Amino acid sequence: MSTRAYSAHRTAWSPLTLPAPDHAFVHARGEAFESSDPATGEVVAVVTASRTADVDAAVTAARAARGGIWRDDGALRGKVLWRYAEALRENSDRLAELLTREQGKRLFEARGEIAGAAEMVEFYAGQARALYGRSIALKPGVHGVVLREPVGVVAVITPWNWPITLLVRALAPALAAGNAVVAKPASLTPAITVEALALLAADPDLPEGVLGCVLGSGAEVGHALVSHPGVEMIAFTGESETGIDVMKHGAERLKKVSLELGGKSPNIVFADADLDKALAGAENAAFFSGGQICTAGSRLLVESPVAEDFVERLGERVAAMRVGDGLDPETDVAPVVSSSQRHRILEYVELSSREGRIVARGEPPAGEPYELGCYVPPTVVADLPSDSRLIREEIFGPLLTVQEFADEEEAVALANATEYGLAAGLWTSDLNRAWRVGRGLEAGTVWINTYHHFYPETEVGGFKRSGVGRQQGLVGLEEFSETKHLNFDSNPTLW
Ligand code: NAD
């Protein structure tokens, strides 16, 4: 790989200091920590962390704001959310650059993330005005009115990989349903989260305390938030093990918990598929966002008659992928988020050569400017034992395993041979097979002849170790509400 003009895409960066004086919604008076650019190691932001007292202050402010006009005025909530979507779009260029600098992803993905977030907020801006309950005539003179009410104070805890998508996916329905929210971003992506939330906090019609934010590590700040008696619901997105811990602590006070967790998703290619499309689809499923996406199609299953040729062609594509800076428009695979994540993934790559056959490997970018970057070339590995850790564990990086299958039954068995159940893909030209296999897969989302497309209208969530509950869609709104039955009796009798 030739050395590219690295600096051509980069302008000088002055680190942000956060929270800024006008970020009153951020409760943080602790020690400073830094977020850094995965491409260069440069400091992106110097951020003040929250202490336990700050978590308490954020929750107390949220409790004071719950109920009141925010609960009772759906039109107001809709208006505030709609304006927030507009503000995200107006600030898209600035936010996308910050997202790429802090998280590493390609700039075009970052732009897509901000645009997708705006769409999600728009969807729930409309739903804020349609939080209908029900009514029923129960007996002569007796009526039941079932209201939908907010849960109260919701803690929204998010990971670093899609920090704005995953934030608004919980924030927007929680606010649309009339809750107050305290957000806690991953400590690798605090600046992009604070800057995105600041656009909402600036709305003059958002009642004080309805939006709060705390910053810092999961072990301290996240734990303090989850355990706080004033938090009534936890919407958590992150690793399955962390989710289990969050659920345990939530259970101590019987909090409502929504968990969006890890994945190890199969992508199945049948011999009757349009193989050119399946090839591009397999590359996208595994290597989009450098594989740092919970739904990554990180296990490719190919039907035997076409497997050898398909994998060879895929290998050629992968070897040609350009690994580089996310700000460089020619980059196919951007750096992973941190040096510890790079180190972790490279250990799996090392295991690949011991346990299987490396079919293809991209090349790391060469030259001095790349030396401090967290680059991991894409890798495809085949001929692994079926109990290999590479097939079982979520790697969360650009590493794809390949397995062959003989028939439909074996494809479904291999696909479901995982503790996870977040997503799956299947490629076939046979509609009946698509139906049969789609029904057989244990996954919250099954893409047929496509991959990695998400819509605000449709739910996401996991079977098995991939989660509890669903987000997005109308169900995603209901998750952030409780029902209350008001019973009216015009002539009460005692039994
Ligand atoms: P993580 O579990 O380490 O952290 C997620 C968030 O939880 C962070 O904000 C972190 O600070 C916080 N946290 C950590 N320990 C905590 C604790 N004890 N109590 C409360 N909060 C705590 O996950 P990550 O490394 O940031 O993200 C990658 C993981 O997220 C992967 O497993 C990925 O599959 C998963 N993920 C799932 C989805 C989904 O929709 N299912 C989406 C994106 C990412």
For residue 105, indicate whether it is catalytic: no
Distances (CA, A) of 485 to 128, 130, 489: 20, 18, 13
What is the distance in A from the centroid of ligand 1 to the CA of 158?
Answer: 6
Q: What confidence score (pLDDT) does residue 6 get?
A: 57
Atom of ligand 1 nearest to the CA of 243: 2
231-240, pLDDT tens digit by residue?
999 999 999 9
**Taking Cα atoms as reference points, which of 31, 20, 417, 338 lies closest to residue 199?**
20
What gap in Å lies between CA 225 and CA 218, rounded to an integer?
9
Q: What confidence score (pLDDT) does residue 5 get?
A: 47
How many residues are given for the chain?
495
Average pLDDT over residues 16-35: 97
pLDDT at 102 over 90: yes
Confidence at 10, pLDDT banded by 50, 70, 90: confident
pLDDT at 437 over 60: yes
Confidence at 143, pLDDT banded by 50, 70, 90: very high
For residue 374, indicate whether it is catalytic: no
Handedness of CA 7, 10, 11, 12 (dihedral sign): negative
Q: Which residues pair with 402 in a beta bridge?
A: 300
Give the whole-number percent of the chain exceeding pLDDT 90.
94
Average pLDDT over residues 331-342: 97
Our mutation pick for probing the ligand 1 site, out of 157, 264, 344, 418, counting the most ligand atoms within 8 A of Cβ, is: 157
**Atom 12 of ligand 1, residue of closest alpha carbon:** 218
Ligand 1 pocket list (CB less than 6 A): 157-162, 166, 184-187, 217-219, 222-223, 226, 237-239, 242, 245-246, 260-263, 294, 394, 396, 422, 462, 466-467
Confidence at 368, pLDDT banded by 50, 70, 90: confident
For residue 294, indicate whether it is catalytic: yes
* Per-residue three-class SS string for the chain: CCCCCHHHHCCCCCCEEECCCCCCCECCCCCEEEEECCCCCCEEEEEECCCHHHHHHHHHHHHHHCCHHHHHCHHHHHHHHHHHHHHHHHCHHHHHHHHHHHHCCCHHHHHHHHHHHHHHHHHHHHHCCCCCCEEEEEECCEEEEEEEEECCEEEEECCCCCCCHHHHHHHHHHHHCCCEEEEECCCCCHHHHHHHHHHHHCCCCCCCCCEEECCCCHHHHHHHHHHCCCCCEEEEECCHHHHHHHHHHHHHCCCEEEEECCCCCEEEECCCCCHHHHHHHHHHHHHHHHHCCCCCCCEEEEEHHHHHHHHHHHHHHHHCCCECCCCCCCCCECCCCCHHHHHHHHHHHHHHHHHCEEEEECCCCCCHHHCCCCCCCCEEEECCCCCCHHHHCCCCCCEEEEEEECCHHHHHHHHHCCCEECEEEEECCCHHHHHHHHHHCCCCEEEECCCCCCCCCCCECCEECCEECCECHHHHHHCCEEEEEEEEECCCCCC
The set of residues, in sequence order, having a beta carbon less than 8 Å from that of 368 and lying 6+ positions away, is none
pLDDT at 4 over 70: no
pLDDT at 1 over 80: no
What is the distance in A from the centroid of ligand 1 to the CA of 424?
Answer: 21
pLDDT at 7 over 70: no
Kindly state the tokens that stand for 264. 């190890």
Catalytic residue among 184, 195, 264, 442: 184
Give the chain's mean pLDDT.
96
Which residue type does 261 have? L
pLDDT at 254 over 60: yes
Average pLDDT over residues 426-451: 98
Average pLDDT over residues 461-475: 97
Confidence at 8, pLDDT banded by 50, 70, 90: confident
374-406, pLDDT tens digit by residue?
999 999 999 999 999 999 999 999 999 999 999
472-490, pLDDT tens digit by residue?
999 999 999 999 999 999 9
Helical axes 74-90 vs 190-201, angle rounded to 10°? 130
pLDDT at 291 over 80: yes
Q: Which residues pair with 235 in a beta bridge?
A: 156, 258
Give the whole-number percent of the chain exceeding pLDDT 70.
98
Average pLDDT over residues 80-85: 98
193-230, pLDDT tens digit by residue?
999 999 999 999 999 999 999 999 999 999 999 999 99
What is the distance in A from the centroid of ligand 1 to the CA of 159?
Answer: 4
Task: Report strand pairing: 399-405 vs 379-382.
Answer: parallel
**Atom 22 of ligand 1, residue of closest alpha carbon:** 218
Atom of ligand 1 nearest to the CA of 225: 20
For residue 260, indicate whether it is catalytic: yes
Q: What confidence score (pLDDT) does residue 111 get?
A: 98
177-193, pLDDT tens digit by residue?
999 999 999 999 999 99
Q: What confidence score (pLDDT) does residue 67 get?
A: 82
Atom of ligand 1 nearest to the CA of 184: 9
What is the distance in A from the centroid of ligand 1 to the CA of 238?
Answer: 2
Q: State the residue for tokens 């992150």.
A: 238
107-136, pLDDT tens digit by residue?
999 999 999 999 999 999 999 999 999 999
What is the distance in A from the centroid of ligand 1 to the CA of 350?
Answer: 25
pLDDT at 93 over 60: yes
Q: What confidence score (pLDDT) does residue 494 get?
A: 75
What is the distance in A from the centroid of ligand 1 to the CA of 348?
Answer: 20
Which residue type does 473 have? G
The set of residues, in sequence order, having a beta carbon less than 8 Å from that of 195 and lying 6+ positions away, is 16, 94, 95, 98
Q: Which pTM value belongs to this model? A: 0.96
Distances (CA, A) of 133 to 129, 144, 488: 12, 11, 15
Q: What confidence score (pLDDT) does residue 2 get?
A: 38
